[in-house]
Amino acid sequence: MPTSRIAIFPGSFDPLTNGHVDLIRRATRLFDRVIVAVLMNPDKQPLFTADERVAMILESCAGIAAPGRIEADLFEGLLVAYAARQGACAVIRGLRSGADFDYERPMVSMNAHLAPEIETVCLLAADRYAHLSSRLVKEVAAHGGSIEGLVPETVGPRLLDRLKTETRTRS
Ligand code: ADP
């Protein structure tokens, strides 16, 4: 019986966008299990708590693959150490542009140095999502622009609600 091939898809997912979902869907074609891993980064001030981000990932990905093939989890510290603990053979990253490539390149090399048995698999962003980032979606929504088609249906209303609360607490 072959062992199941597990990939980790790490990121901030603050919030999950349709670009992320597209990558998760494509990764399930390559791996038996995909663990979407929300990085708990004490240096960043996220809009959503890590638990909220995990919940949105689980809800948005529920229909993509058979139960158990996509999981969501939290992690902190070294990515390759987390990946090894999960028994993963690969880390998935998305490339939208040359800037993403330049950002990933040293991390891929360092991770290969630390854990040569874990491969980083970079998937090119789909054309229709290559302009999409969590940061831009938040900016567009904060200025009243339409985010339809940019984020999953469960994410949109929560994002608008959270931005409203933020504005109220700031004023
Ligand atoms: P990070 O802080 O690790 O960049 P993000 O949540 O912004 O976290 O992104 C997680 C991963 O998803 C990264 O590899 C990023 O390049 C990729 N990604 C983000 N947006 C898109 C998109 N629109 N299409 C494809 N990949 C994307």
Rg value, the chain, Cα = 16
The yes-or-no answer on residue 44 being catalytic is yes
**Number of domains forming the structure of the chain:** 1
The parent domain of residue 133 ranges over 6-170
Q: Whose CA is nearest to atom 4 of ligand 1?
A: 11
For each of the chain's 171 residues, which pLDDT tens digit applies? 568 999 999 999 999 999 999 999 999 999 999 999 999 988 889 999 999 999 999 999 999 999 999 999 999 999 999 999 999 999 999 999 999 999 999 999 999 999 999 999 999 999 999 999 999 999 999 999 999 999 999 999 999 999 999 877 766
The yes-or-no answer on residue 134 being catalytic is yes
Query: How does 38-52 read in b/e, with b if 16+ C-beta sit within 10 Å?
Result: bbeeeeeebbbebeb
pTM of structure: 0.96
End-to-end Cα separation, the chain, in angstroms: 60
- Residues in the ligand 1 pocket, defined by CB under 6 Å: 11-13, 17, 19-20, 23, 93-94, 96, 100, 125, 129, 132-134
Residue 71, in any domain of the structure: yes
Give the DSSP per-residue string, 69-87: SEEEEEE-S-HHHHHHHTT
Residue 39, in any domain of the structure: yes
Which atom of ligand 1 is nearest to 18's Cα?
A: 23
How many Å lie between the centroid of ligand 1 and the Cα of residue 4? 25
CA pair distance 59, 34, nearest whole angstrom: 15
Query: Which residue in the list 5, 25, 26, 96 is annotated as catalytic?
Result: 96
Which atom of ligand 1 is nearest to 100's Cα?
A: 16
Residue 58, in any domain of the structure: yes
Which atom of ligand 1 is nearest to 93's Cα?
A: 14
How many Å lie between the centroid of ligand 1 and the Cα of residue 144? 23
CATH of the domain at 130: 3.40.50.620
Q: What angle do CA 7, 12, 18 make, to 5 degrees?
A: 75
Residue 1, in any domain of the structure: no
Residue 32, in any domain of the structure: yes
